[in-house]
């Protein structure tokens, strides 16, 4: 299987369309590898659930690959827009039945999903250590913002400060936490 990492979106899309039902394995794998984490992020912001988001990303990419094979992606150079549109539609239409989903997902092998880099997972001990390095305000603003999902205004009331200051505090605190954990941690 060739390495398609440097192939632009549009070229990948055209090659898959040209191969049709026979499939262009390397190109399809690259489309999947490239877009699945981005779709997962798109979904995770709304669903707040990593597993559900991963399932959603798989579904979006399966639909995309089917459309590419069928040559129905009208603007191959705008593949990202097609993927995003599909993701948005599916997020809006989450009332579909589980059976329908299973049937659709079974049409593509799950090995494709195995090639996608897993969602970043943090070393729990390292995270705990780095959170301890923050001062009480910074730690509190992170918990209020990212776990309790308080608005900046709500967090500001708890912290006795302004919403603007909360935005600055949380931005700095998250950057410090990220730096402390290091790139390997995510």
Partner 1 sequence: MSRHVELEGLIAWWLGELDPADADAVDEHLIDCAACSARGQRVAALAGGIGEHAARGQFAGVLPAGLVDRLVARGVRVRTFEVRAGEHVPCAASADDDLMNARLIGDFRGTGRLDVAVLGPDGGEQERYADVLVDRAAGVLDLAAPADQVRALPPMPTTICSTPAWSATSAAPAASTSPCSIPAAPRRSATPTSWSTAPAARST
Q: Does 178 bind partner 1 (CB under 8 A)?
A: yes
Q: Does 143 bind partner 1 (CB under 8 A)?
A: yes
Q: Which residue number, 16 or 144, has a Cβ lying nearer to partner 1?
A: 144
How many residues bind partner 1 (CB under 8 A)? The answer is: 54
Least distance to partner 1, CB of residue 69, Å: 21
Which has the closest alpha carbon to 135: 177, 165, 163, 164? 177
Q: Which of 66, 80, 89, 162 binds partner 1 (CB under 8 A)?
A: 80
Buried b (16+ CB within 10 A) or exposed e, 42-60: bbbeebeeeeebbbbbbbb
Q: Which of residues 42-71 bind partner 1 (CB under 8 A)?
A: 42, 44-45, 50
| Rounded Cα–Cα distance for residues 162 and 169 (Å) | 10
| Rounded Cα–Cα distance for residues 111 and 17 (Å) | 21
- The residues binding partner 1 (CB under 8 A) are 34-35, 37-42, 44-45, 50, 80-81, 83-84, 87-88, 119-122, 124, 127-128, 131-132, 136-137, 139-140, 142-152, 157-160, 167, 170-171, 174-175, 177-178, 181, 186
């Amino acid at each position: 299987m060739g390495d398609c990492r440097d192939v632009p979106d549009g070229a990948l899309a055209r090659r898959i369309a040209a191969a049709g039902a026979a499939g262009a394995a390397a190109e399809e794998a690259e489309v999947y590898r490239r877009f699945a984490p981005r779709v997962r992020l798109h979904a995770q912001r709304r669903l707040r659930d990593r597993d559900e988001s991963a399932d959603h990303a798989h579904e979006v990419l399966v639909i995309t690959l089917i459309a590419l094979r069928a040559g129905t992606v009208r603007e191959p150079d705008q593949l990202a827009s097609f993927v995003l549109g599909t993701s948005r539609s599916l997020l809006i239409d989450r009332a579909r039945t589980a059976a329908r989903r299973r049937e659709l997902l079974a049409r593509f092998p799950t090995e494709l999903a195995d090639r996608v880099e897993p969602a970043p997972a943090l070393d729990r001990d390292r995270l705990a250590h780095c959170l301890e390095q923050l001062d009480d305000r910074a730690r509190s603003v992170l918990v209020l913002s990212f776990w309790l999902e308080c608005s900046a205004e709500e967090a500001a009331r708890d912290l006795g400060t302004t919403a603007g200051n909360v935005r600055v505090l949380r931005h700095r605190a998250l950057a410090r936490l990220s730096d402390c954990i290091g790139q390997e941690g995510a």
